Structure 1
Amino acid sequence: MKSNFDFLNKDQDTQILHRTAVDVEELYADGKFSNEFESIRKIIENVARQILDLNFVATGDRSTFNDCLRKIKYRNFADKDILDKFYELKNNGFNHAKMKITDLPY
């Protein structure tokens, strides 16, 4: 099946994003929106790490997504509008994951 995200396979740097992007597409089609937000968060976290990597900024094994966003902001690697979107998507993914855990019947 053809995906809207097949273009990600054309570049070695974006191939890592392809599988998760296709998962997002499938989760949306299946109506699994909470899972979709979690996957979107994974994608943008990888994009943030790639931005740092392509600019030769090291991130530790234990660095969080928030650490990466802080470094991007501090070094002005992205406009404020883009960073705001990253934080918004990050928080949406976190809130949906938390909601799924707290909504369990036990």
Structure 2
Amino acid sequence: MMVVEVAFALPTEQKIIALQVDEECTAYEAVIKSGIVEVYPQIDPENDPMGIFGKSIRDPKTTVLKNGQRVEIYRPLIADPKEARAKRAAKMKAQKEAEEKAARD
């Protein structure tokens, strides 16, 4: 037997469940066994992306865990990271231009 954790986070809260599993337990099996889906019914273990300590895993059903690892269930992104970065850059550019204009006037 070994101890692993299953984690899920929302913008306002997070839940980490520690559980004992067999040596050959997969990430998917740990998620099911943890019961986290009962706490957060929006989790879809069949389709939601998962990772171990922030590193994405391709197939949770075949990824065997090691003692002490934490399986993370990821939520879908609300905003495209490239779009968000472009918006921040445009905002910073506009702010800088306004400051330069104010300094000239």
- Bigger share in strand: 2
Greater length-normalized contact order (CA 8 Å, ≥ 6 residues apart): 2
TM-score, with structure 1 as normaliser = 0.28
User: What's the TM-score, normalizing by structure 2?
Assistant: 0.28
Q: Which of 1 and 2 has greater Rg?
A: 2
Structure ranking higher in helix proportion: 1
